[in-house]
Structures are given as C-alpha cells and as structure tokens.
Amino acid sequence: MHHIGFFICPNHRILDLAGPLGAFEEANCFIEGESYRLTVISEFGGLVAGSSGVPIHTQPFRNRGFDTVIFIGGDITPFQNQGIIAAANKLAANTARVASVCTGAFLLAETGLLNGRRATTHWRLAPELQQRYPLVRVEADRIFIADDNYWTSAGISAGIDLALALIETDFGTKIAREVARELVVPYRRSGGQSQFSAMSQMEPDSDRIRMALAFARDHLVEPLPIERLAEAARLSVRQFGRAFRRQTGETPAKAVERLRVEAACVRLQDGSEPIEQIAKAVGFTDPERMRRAFVKLHGHPPQAIRRAGRLDSID
C-alpha cells in the first residue's frame, strides 16, 4: 500500500487538492493488489476551510507515515506560519517523495528544501517565487518538474499532470494511460511542456481569426503566407491583416512562427528526432531559422529544451 498525504492549509485551492486526489483515487480502480491509500492532513487536523469557504475534514499530520506527501497550493500567507513550516519539515524528513501543486512550492521553498533545486509553480507567481527564494532554480513555464525526490507543478489542472506522472512512476505507463482516459484528460503533458499554448496566448475573439489560426496549426509544414491565411479566414488580405493584429497583437507571420516553435518544443521533449528533421517537419526552412525563433521567444536554443526534457526523464 502506497500511502499519500495531501497537506492543506487554510485558504487552500480546492481544485489543487481535488485534481491529484481524484487521479490517485481513479488509479485504485486499475491497480491489482497494492494500491494507494489517500489521507488529507493539516497541522492540527479537523475542518480546514479553503479559499472557496468549503471546509475539508483533515487528519493531524503527526505520528503518520507516508510514502509521498503533496503540499497543496492556495493563499501563500499561511506558509509563513512557523508551525506550518515545522510541520512541512517534519513530513519531508520522514517521506521518500515530496511534491507540491501550484503555490505549494512556496511552502517547500520556505523550508529550504528547494534550495539549489529546479522547481516550478503557477506562471503568474513564478517571478515572486524566484524573488523571495533566490536559491531556488525557478523554471516558470513548466507543467511539472522532478528534481531527485522533489516534485513541483504548475497550478490547477497541472496537479493532474503531476499525479499521472507519479502514477506512471509507481505502476507504469499502462495504468497511467487508463487513468487519463477515465478522467478525460490528455495522456500526458510532459513536464517540460508550456503551461499555456500559443493558441490560448493569442485568444482572438473573432471566429474568422480563430479559423485562420486553426488552419495554420494544421498546416505548419506548408508555406503559410498571409494570402493563404486570409483565404482560410474568408477575408481579403487587407481586412485579415488589420483584424489579425487587432485581435492578437501581432502579425500573422509572428503568430505562425510562435505555433511552429510550440510544435517543435513538443517533438524536442518527446524523442531523439534530429533537430534538422524537426525544423523541416514544423515548417522552418532551416535549423538556423528555428534556432533564432527559439532564442527570440524562449531566450535559449532548441538544444536547451531537449536537455531539460532529458533531465526530467532521468529524474
């Protein structure tokens, strides 16, 4: 029996708890014999209200042994409480694997357990995590990161990605895939994948602009001049160019480049495909052009994405 403790504090985010807890609960339906035992814990036990006001019944953390402890995100103010910090330290010292969801990384960082380690949190709060805890190697745009036996994830739905990765580590790919199918979520976003897609970043209101972006995403390997995108949107080139910039804040050419970089990132993380082949497959005319696009958008070349993906797989 693999015992998992979910440590919550006042004003925790209920989705940060429910997502991973539900994934492990679902995994028990597919595991024969030894499975997961799930316990929600807190500093003192009893009812702990979340940010929504919904109280969750918890057990006190003391005198309990866990194989994994997951620190759930929410309001970071309680993470400054000395009693909660001491509880986190005691739990981590007696647990083989420690994880956090969203702002739970702030509590782990407060204990010093993340010093010198790679970690992530919700993209919006990553700069604050880095500023408060300069010894932590914050990687702001990751879904989750495993550094030795310390796992951290981004916010909300990323807790499910974290849980699926842990399930895969414990019981293999087949079980994790079954859980993902049952939860109706993708199996599975790699830890190095961006927290939000290029499509969601642009967020056009116009159906016609969304049609053009969808067309571009599905035809990245082909030339995508503005004339072709305007045709997909059923607009004149002049109308399309103006509407696209107004809706997305950038030119069609830059948007296509962003989509190509995103597609290349997935291929870089998921295998050993040569970079030259990836560049061609996503529509870049040559690897150098792809390298320049990566540096412009991410601040580092494609090789850095691949190295980070390999670090995740080793961890």
Q: How far apart (Å, rounded) are the C-alpha atoms in residues 292 and 283?
A: 14
Q: Which of 12, 27, 112, 24 is nearest to 66 (CA)?
A: 24
Please identify every stretch of the chain with a pLDDT value under 70, giving residue numbers as ranges: 186-202, 270-271, 308-315
Taking CA atoms, 180 is separated from 12, 23, 173, 189, in Å, by: 25, 8, 10, 11
Q: pLDDT tens-digit profile of 260-270?
A: 998 888 788 76
- What's 74's DSSP letter? B
At 256 the pLDDT is 94
At 46 the pLDDT is 97
At 192 the pLDDT is 46
Q: Is the model's pTM score more than 0.75?
A: no
Length of the chain: 315
Q: Tokens 């995100």 — which residue? A: 73
Q: pLDDT tens-digit profile of 23-79?
A: 999 999 999 877 999 999 999 999 999 999 999 999 999 877 899 999 999 999 999
Share of the chain above pLDDT 90, in %: 69
Q: How far apart (Å, rounded) are the C-alpha atoms in residues 93 and 97?
A: 10
How far does Cα 92 stand from its chain's mean position?
A: 22
- Report all structural domains of the chain as residue ranges with CATH numbers, in order of start: 2-183 (3.40.50.880), 198-314 (1.10.10.60)
Q: How far apart (Å, rounded) are the C-alpha atoms in residues 308 and 140?
A: 13
Q: Which of 210, 205, 95 is nearest to 150 (CA)?
A: 95
At 16 the pLDDT is 96
Taking CA atoms, 17 is separated from 26, 64, 106, 163, 247, in Å, by: 14, 19, 16, 11, 35
At 314 the pLDDT is 45
Q: How far apart (Å, rounded) are the C-alpha atoms in residues 251 and 242?
A: 9
What three-state secondary structure class fits 221? Answer: coil
> Residue 151: what are its φ and ψ, rounded to 5°?
-115, 135
Q: How far apart (Å, rounded) are the C-alpha atoms in residues 85 and 91?
A: 10
At 102 the pLDDT is 95
Per-residue burial over 30-66, b if 16 or more Cβ lie within 10 Å, else e, is: bbeeebbebbbbbbeeeebebeeeeebebeebeeeeb
